[in-house]
Amino acid sequence: MNHPFKRLAMLTLLLSVCAGAIAQSYPTRPVTFTSAMAAGSTTDILAREVAKLLSERMGQAIIVETVSGGGGIVAAKKVINAQPDGYNLLFVTNGLTSNQAMRSKPDFDIAKDLVAISPLFEGVFGIYINPDLPAKTLQEFVAYAKARPGKINYGTSGIGGIVHLVNADFAVRAGLDMVHVPYKGGAEYLPATMANQVQLSFADVTFAQPQADAGKVRLLAVTSKQRLPQMPNVPTFEESGFPGYTPTFWTGLYAPRGTPQAVIDRINAEVRTIITPPEAKARYAARGYQTLWMPPAEAQKRVVDEIAQFNKTIDTVKIERQ
């Protein structure tokens, strides 16, 4: 009577030992990070930093391959179609989740075709305006824009991208009638703000702040819940009359669906080792980022929840899905 249970116990033990062996032996050859944003972008720089640190931890080279396009969709397809063995990983921002929400017929389902290993870094947006505008505070800008319906342009990284959704949500909350001008990325729409081709843009503060320091754009507020330590004089949106408005962007690491759980867990554990120590947190905080490690199941839930939230925003602000 006990023989089936003994066999089951032995099989369970064998599978556990095999999983442990896979995790310990992985990787045995170079790993590829597919970086979903343009070479030289903030995301790409972070991908290369993480790749270097993980390579040192795991004893194998990690090659970063830049595959931009479609707000992460092109890179995601490449990884989804790769062998699910842990040697092809995706490094992408949550622009990928906003892009899925914007698609009436998505090419894939992030929650089903990819496995979230962990988020890594979270950053905040600043609202930057052309310095020729008379507004010195967010409240003054809102009053200025309200008096000029349809005459204020805002630049984004593309229709349906996270920057577009953040801008559109702000416009609805502020009761503003503004014109959306899509570009290919911050490297285009921030200079357009400087040239007054568009009057405002939301941008990663670590990317845009040097231009604000040089007087080429003016920073009015940031989307963090508290003031940033490196910008103590810049108010938050919540302080400026927009309670609950704290959108962020984050970068995460994904693997193709079907990748062995032992490999997912191994990578997740190594990520935790490199980004959660106090010195790592302090180092990235000085650059405007919060490190953001989660267990894989929690990371996957975050992705699902965020897609639902983006769908709600798209419906609320009435953006036509593509």
Is residue 79 included in any domain, yes or no?
A: yes
**Amino acid identity, residue 301?**
K
Which structural domain, as residue segments, surrounds residue 255? 3-122+248-317
**Strand stretches in the chain, DSSP E:** 31-35, 62-66, 88-93, 114-129, 153-156, 179-182, 200-204, 218-222, 248-256, 290-291
Same domain, 118 and 9: yes
The answer to whether residue 267 scores a pLDDT higher than 80 is yes
The predicted pLDDT at position 229 comes to 84
In a domain, 231, yes or no: no
At 206 the pLDDT is: 85
Q: Are 204 and 249 in contact (CB under 8 A)?
A: yes
Cis peptide leading into 131, omega within 30 of 0? no
Between 68 and 228, residue with greater pLDDT = 228
> Are both 11 and 153 inside the same structural domain?
no
| Per-residue pLDDT band at 203 (split at 50, 70, 90) | very high
Establish if 232 belongs to a structural domain. no
Task: Tell me: pLDDT of 20 over 60.
Answer: no
Number of domains in the chain: 2
User: Is position 109 within any domain?
Assistant: yes
Q: What is the pLDDT of residue 12?
A: 42
Give the pLDDT band of residue 6 (cuts 50, 70, 90).
low
Q: Establish if 27 belongs to a structural domain.
A: yes
Cα(135)–Cα(132) distance, integer angstroms: 9
Residues 129 and 214 in one domain: yes
In this prediction, residue 285 carries a pLDDT of 87
List, for residues 43-78, the tens digit of each pLDDT value. Answer: 889 999 999 999 999 999 999 999 987 778 899 999
Report d(CA 229, CA 180) in Å as an integer: 31
Specify whether 170 is located in the same domain as 35. no
Q: Residue 14 is part of a domain; what is its CATH number? A: 3.40.190.150
Same domain for 132 and 199: yes
* Domain harbouring 177, CATH code: 3.40.190.10
* Whether residues 83 and 142 fall in one domain: no
What's the pTM value of the predicted model, to 2 decimals?
0.80
Amino acid at 171: A
pLDDT at 92 over 60: yes
96 CB-contact burial (10 Å; exposed 0-12 / middle 13-18 / buried 19+): buried
Tokens standing for 3? 């023989």
Residue 227 lies in a domain: no
Clarify whether residues 117 and 129 are in a common domain: no
Assigned domain for 167 exists: yes
